[in-house]
Amino acid sequence: MAIFLTGSTGYLGSYLVAGLWTGYPDRLNLLVRAKTEQEARERLWQSLQLHLEFPEFLEYVNTRVRIFRGDLTGERFGLDDDEYRALVDSTDSILHCAASLNRKSEKQCLNVNLRGSLEVIQLARRAQNHHGLRRYSHVSTVAVAGKRQNEVVQEDSSIDWARSDYDPYARTKKFCEHMVHQLLPDVPHTIFRPAIVLGDSRKPETTQFDMVQAFNMLARLPVLPLRPDDKVDIVPANYVGGAIVKIHQMEKPNYGIYHLSSGTGSQTYKELTDALAKQGGWRRPSYQPWLGGPFSKTVNWMAFKGGAVGYGASLLKVFWPYLDWNTVFDNSRVMQEMGEVPAKFSVYAYPLLQFSRTNKFKYPAKPWPAAALSVGNADEQLRSFAQKARSG
């Protein structure tokens, strides 16, 4: 039996795969968008090289993974009858991490987040009816809390149907949680709500740059249109990934919903810019919150320009509501399960920005080694790869 995982080619999904491979014996059924088996493997290597060297990666793929080449938006993921039956029969828990994070697109959020999650829930129902499902874990977001200002939000009072949402992403993720509760009442289920996931507290490398780029743009400004004592809830990907894996694998987690966040331990903008100024020898910005209005107009205008600045501005425009709301998400539950607090952003923000700037906000991905055979016998592949690597 295996864990069915969606989103393994994404940023957070790679932490889940690596955490499950290295910490647990379970087999994984991975949903991957690809035309061929080899393309699927190469796409996995692109995301997993953040965590593992190639020979180790290849060994795990060959011995612990079954790839299902499919798409969340296809009926039964677009799998043929035999494959779909094999997926139902061999899945004993589900970790649904894939989503569209395109905050501007109603269409993408509707198709991937709503229709896609419904497909995953239907798989859960079939597995539950066939042989029972140990757990259904759904990766959601703190954005389901809707429009907020100056609050510490608790897990159980986060969803308020009378409240407006900032964007289609938040709205569709909120309804996904509702579907899980309504359609899987008889399956043990867990909802994970990460805050802003930025970087890894143990190393500067990242494969996801959208939020880094928005922060980089802010970090370059001599004047910030923010309140210096506002808090921003940022959490490192290694903490989020570690928590999801650990709680998904627990026999009986203590709660049904977890904020994966820094909570009241979140830092203020002033704490962050002071730390960056100290580590980078940069000038401290001046804070002028009254500039918020003109600033957002300028960002809107710049967002229509091309190039890196235009792209940074368009990201800032999309993320702005989450930077300006001075709202944090209580994390007592996850700290109870993990026995540790997430690392402070100021500790690893500078190396993360340096890595991102040096690499022009693009991960310097290594290609699939030509020395490795594509698909076939696992031992043969590893032997061949090692031999060719030795002979240069």
Ligand X SMILES: NC(=O)c1ccc[n+]([C@@H]2O[C@H](COP(=O)([O-])OP(=O)(O)OC[C@H]3O[C@@H](n4cnc5c(N)ncnc54)[C@H](OP(=O)(O)O)[C@@H]3O)[C@@H](O)[C@H]2O)c1
- The answer to whether the beta carbons of residues 98 and 31 sit under 8 Å apart is yes
Q: Parallel, antiparallel, or unpaired for β 196-197 and 267-268? A: unpaired
Cα–Cα distance measured from residue 290 to residue 141, given in angstroms and rounded to the nearest whole number: 29
Nearer to ligand X, 73 or 300 (CB): 73
Give the residues lining the site for ligand X (CB under 6 A): 6-7, 9-13, 31, 33, 71-73, 97-101, 112, 116, 139, 141, 173, 194, 196-197, 208, 211
Question: Residue 235 Cβ, how far from ligand X at the closest point, in Å?
Answer: 8
Considering the complex, state which of residue 52 and residue 382 has its C-beta at the smaller distance from ligand X: 52
> Which residue number is nearest to ligand X in terms of Cβ?
10
Which residue reads 């049904």 in tokens?
256
Strands (E), 26-181: 27-32, 65-69, 91-96, 135-139, 152-153
Report which DSSP code applies to 263. Answer: G
The DSSP result for 336-390, as a single string, is: HHHSSPPPPHHHHHHHHHHHHHHTTTS--PPPPPTTS-SSS-HHHHHHHHHHHHH
- Output 60 or 169, the one with its CB closest to ligand X: 169
Q: What is the DSSP letter of 144?
A: G
**DSSP 8-class letter at 200:** B
Smallest gap from residue 297 Cβ to ligand X (A): 26
Q: How far apart are CA 163 and CA 72, in angstroms?
A: 29
Strands 231-232 and 267-268: antiparallel
**Which residue lies nearer to ligand X by CB, 26 or 71?**
71
Class of residue 387 by CB neighbours under 10 A (exposed 0-12, middle 13-18, buried 19+): exposed
d(CA 172, CA 108): 10
Least distance between ligand X and beta carbon 223 (Å): 26
CB 58 to ligand X: min, Å: 20
Pairing of strands 135-139, 231-232: unpaired
The nearer residue to ligand X, 187 or 197, going by C-beta atoms, is 197
Of 18 and 382, which has the nearer Cβ to ligand X? Answer: 18
**Min dist. Cβ of residue 177 to ligand X (A):** 11
Nearest to 113 by CA among 196, 184, 195, 171: 171
For ligand X, which is the closer residue by CB, 79 or 139?
139
* Beta strand ranges found along 163-303 (DSSP E): 189-194, 196-197, 223-224, 231-232, 234-235, 257-260, 267-268, 286-287
Which residue's entry shows tokens 């079954």?
66
CB of 91 to ligand X, least distance (A): 16
CB of 288 to ligand X, least distance (A): 27
Taking the least distance from each CB to ligand X, the nearer of 142 and 302 is: 142
Q: How far is the CB of 248 from ligand X (least distance, A)?
A: 14
Q: Which is nearer to ligand X, 356 or 381 (CB)?
A: 356
Which of these, 64, 10, 2, 39, lies nearest to 375 by C-alpha position?
Answer: 39
User: Based on CB atoms, which residue is closest to ligand X, 13 or 242?
Assistant: 13
Nearest distance in Å: CB 198, ligand X:
7
Minimal distance, residue 339 CB to ligand X, in Å: 23
CA torsion 300-166-259-1 (nearest 10°) is: -100
